[in-house]
């Protein structure tokens, strides 16, 4: 049913490529293609900026009139200034912590909840698994963006609400993937043995199955982080994220849109930063799923 | 055959259950949130009289379950209630906007189908050429870049820097077709690019595996022309997954269209949904959310059925 997402001709039922355990980090890195190294470096820079940025950013994020409004990029203002004369580069650097933090929190929560549900369902087997599978199928057909807009619009946006809401939508998808992976494992003999030994169900889930689906969990986390940047960015672009003057990237794009014909840089900066982050995360996911022998689940609807 | 029928019926049943579940979520989110909806709409300092009138207008004094069934029944009958802000029937308000959105989505799909077919075939057939490597990289990037960033960048380049297209994609009845196609080009292309990226990726991988299968090699060895082998023998077998992605893309359009309509200030239902949420115009919000949900669920149903139809094991009768 599903088509192998690899590109190579893998017709022969050959043995899986022997995964040689890397002797050291350096040997492992030397074996990676250049793009992967570049992508990892880019992600490392994003992370570094998120952690250290506020210490070295040239201006505070919401200081008004650091220069003329709409000043074009210059040495004083690397990415120019916006309509309030705020330094776009500083805002970008300050906002990164928020963008990355929200995405990681969302992805982390969704992977924890989703994996727990998926593992539990696969462990229970029989009718509870059947029912849970059906429930997941129903939940997956709920349009995430529309419901998220309704809830955030009615309750008002907050970090906690956004994280839990988006994590909930993602958890449904994670649970489906992990359940499928775990269902392949539960039929193995060592699980039957564990059951006969009288191991409690949570122990089977955590100690027997989880280690065997850990690569799927890892890929899901990486994939969901990228999707979370996208989804939350979209929400704040639509005005359902943090309130001004937060230097959130989606919000910056939204605010700068009005003046795009006068000064494109307040939009261009966050737009390219966001695109770079998502592309890097996507290429990273691609590669680690290849290394771990999985194909990242990609469907156009998030 | 009986198995196929059972599959379709059970899937359809599941879709109906899902739609009911989603309608409940929509209704509950909009109506049963903390605080009185009438006060929420009118603001904290509204006079009790006005609140009372609005409560009656919204039937807020009836039990929630009754209001839900009334609303759902009304939606099914085509009586969608009155907009609070515009003070006229929701149908009058929403349907012209829906038409605009359908025009935009149809335009995007019309661009998408030939583009993704061509690129899918080209990248699969010439899979070893340098050009394809770059094209595949571009496609990979295209699946990752958020559509609102693509939209903004297109707007910046082709409407601001180079004034080839209008930055505002408004639309009215008097426009001629070429004029309309010109005005809607940027938003349509934004949607098309995102959809195409997914479809090309899927088509390429399925077509490559078909092209390297024995029966295609056989057809080539029989001396058929390369063109005939690709178009008549290989392509039909690779179209299935592409069809499935296309249907899923329709589901994706629901979210994409909201963002793109906002970027290009296009008067469609996505823009109307955002405006109505800001104005707390509950009947309009509920109607649009239900329309979106129905399309999303139908598209997912379609994708499931296509996938099932493509699976020979299921087609043959299954387990």
- List the one residue out of B143, B123, B125 whose CA is nearest residue B135: B123
Nearest residue on chain A to B251, alpha-carbon basis: A301
Contact B199, B253 (CB under 8 A): no
Lowest pLDDT segment from A49-63, A176-190, A283-297, B217-231: A283-297
DSSP string, A231-288: HHHHHHHTT-SSPTT---HHHHHHHHGGGTTT--HHHHHHHHHHHHHHHHHHHHHHHH
Alpha carbon separation from A264 to A58, B70, B159 (Å, rounded): 21, 49, 12
Contact A271 B149 (CB under 8 A): yes
Tell me the torsion sign for CA atoms B241, B246, B251, B255.
positive
Q: What are phi and psi of A87, to 5 degrees?
A: -75, 115
Distance from CA of A137 to the nearest CA of B (A): 8
User: Which tens digits make up the pLDDT trace of A30-70?
Assistant: 677 788 888 899 999 999 999 998 888 888 888 787 878 88
Nearest residue on chain B to A227, alpha-carbon basis: B144
Contacts of A252 in chain B (CB under 8 A): none
Contact A238 B262 (CB under 8 A): yes
User: Which tens digits make up the pLDDT trace of B94-121?
Assistant: 898 999 999 999 999 999 988 988 888 8
What value does the mean pLDDT take over residues B44-68? Answer: 77
Contact A3 B310 (CB under 8 A): no
Contact A290, B162 (CB under 8 A): no
Residues 206-265 of B with CB under 8 A from A: 206, 208-209, 212-213, 241, 245, 248-249, 251-252, 254-255, 258-259, 262-263
**CB contacts < 8 A (A, B):** 166
Contacts of B138 in chain A (CB under 8 A): none
Give the pair of three-digit tokens for residue A280: 């890097």
User: Which tens digits make up the pLDDT trace of B271-298?
Assistant: 999 998 888 888 888 899 999 989 888 8
Residue count of chain A: 302
User: Which tens digits make up the pLDDT trace of B153-166?
Assistant: 898 889 888 888 88
DSSP state of A298: -
User: Which tens digits make up the pLDDT trace of A228-249?
Assistant: 999 999 999 999 988 888 889 9
Contact B152 A234 (CB under 8 A): no
C-alpha A212/C-alpha A204 separation (Å) is 11
Chain centroid to Cα B308, Å, comes to: 21
- List the one residue out of B252, B318, B282, B283 whose CA is nearest residue B7: B318
pLDDT band at A5 (very low <50, low <70, confident <90, very high): very low
Name which residue leads in pLDDT, B206 or B318: B206
What value does the mean pLDDT take over residues A205-231? Answer: 90
Those residues with Cβ within 8 angstroms of residue A54's Cβ, 6 or more apart along the chain or in another chain: A93, A94, A97
Contact A286 B140 (CB under 8 A): yes
Strand, coil or helix: what is A59?
Answer: coil
Distance from CA of A198 to the nearest CA of B (A): 32
pTM: 0.86
Residue count of chain B: 319
Contact A154 B30 (CB under 8 A): yes
Contact B263 A5 (CB under 8 A): no
Contacts of A226 in chain B (CB under 8 A): 144
Nearest residue on chain A to B139, alpha-carbon basis: A279
What value does the mean pLDDT take over residues B173-177? Answer: 73
DSSP state of A18: P
């Amino acid at each position: 049913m599903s088509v192998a997402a690899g590109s190579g001709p893998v017709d022969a039922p050959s043995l899986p490529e022997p995964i040689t355990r890397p002797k050291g980090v350096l040997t492992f890195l030397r074996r990676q293609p250049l793009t992967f190294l570049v992508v990892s470096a880019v992600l490392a820079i994003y992370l570094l900026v998120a952690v250290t940025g506020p210490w070295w950013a040239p201006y505070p994020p919401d200081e008004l009139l650091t220069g003329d409004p709409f000043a074009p990029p210059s040495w004083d203002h690397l990415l120019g200034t916006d309509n309030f004369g705020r330094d776009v580069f500083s805002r970008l650097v300050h906002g990164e912590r928020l963008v990355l933090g929200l995405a990681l929190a969302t992805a982390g929560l969704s992977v924890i909840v989703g994996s727990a549900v998926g593992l539990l369902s696969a462990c229970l087997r029989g009718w509870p698994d059947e029912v849970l599978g059906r429930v997941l199928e129903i939940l997956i057909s709920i349009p995430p963006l529309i419901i998220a807009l309704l809830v955030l619009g009615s309750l008002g946006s907050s970090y906690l609400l956004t994280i839990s809401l988006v994590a909930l939508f993602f958890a449904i998808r994670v649970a489906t993937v992990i359940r499928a992976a775990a269902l392949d494992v539960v039929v193995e003999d060592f699980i039957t043995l564990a059951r006969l030994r009288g191991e409690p169900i949570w122990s089977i889930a955590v100690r027997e199955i989880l280690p065997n689906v850990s690569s799927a969990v890892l890929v899901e986390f990486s994939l969901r982080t990228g999707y979370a940047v996208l989804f939350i960015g979209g929400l704040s672009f639509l005005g359902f994220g943090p309130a001004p003057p937060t230097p959130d990237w989606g919000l910056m794009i939204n605010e700068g849109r009005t003046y795009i014909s006068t000064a494109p840089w307040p939009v261009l900066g966050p737009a390219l930063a966001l695109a770079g982050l998502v592309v890097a995360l996507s290429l990273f996911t691609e590669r680690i799923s290849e290394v771990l022998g999985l194909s990242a689940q990609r469907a156009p609807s998030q | 055959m009986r198995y196929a029928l059972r599959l379709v019926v059970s899937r359809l049943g599941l879709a109906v259950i899902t739609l009911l579940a989603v309608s409940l979520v929509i209704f509950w989110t909009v109506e049963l949130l903390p605080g009185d909806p009438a006060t929420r709409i009118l603001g904290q300092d509204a006079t009790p009289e006005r609140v009372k009138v609005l409560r009656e207008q919204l039937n807020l004094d009836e039990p929630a379950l009754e209001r839900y069934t009334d609303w759902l029944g009304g939606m099914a009958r085509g009586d969608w209630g009155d907009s609070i802000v515009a003070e006229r029937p929701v149908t009058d308000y929403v349907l012209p906007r829906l038409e605009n959105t359908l025009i935009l989505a149809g335009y995007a799909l019309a661009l998408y189908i030939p583009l993704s077919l061509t690129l899918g075939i080209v990248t699969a057939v010439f899979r070893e050429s340098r050009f394809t490597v770059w094209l595949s990289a571009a496609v990979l990037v295209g699946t990752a870049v958020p559509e609102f960033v693509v939209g903004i960048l297109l707007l910046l380049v082709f409407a601001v820097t180079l004034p080839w297209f209008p930055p505002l994609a408004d639309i009215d009845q008097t426009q001629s077709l070429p004029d309309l196609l010109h005005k809607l080009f940027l938003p349509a292309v934004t949607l098309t690019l995102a959809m195409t990226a997914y479809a090309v990726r899927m088509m390429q991988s399925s077509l490559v595996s078909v092209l390297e299968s024995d029966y295609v090699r056989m057809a080539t060895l029989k001396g058929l022309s390369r063109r005939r082998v690709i178009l008549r023998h290989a392509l039909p077998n690779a179209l299935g997954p592409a069809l499935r992605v296309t249907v899923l893309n329709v589901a994706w359009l629901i979210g994409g269209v909201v963002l793109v309509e906002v970027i290009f200030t296009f008067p469609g239902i996505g823009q109307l949904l955002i405006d109505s949420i800001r104005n707390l115009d509950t009947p309009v919000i509920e109607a649009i959310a239900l329309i979106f949900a129905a399309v999303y669920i139908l598209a997912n149903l379609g994708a499931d059925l296509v996938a099932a139809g493509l699976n020979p094991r299921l087609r043959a009768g299954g387990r």
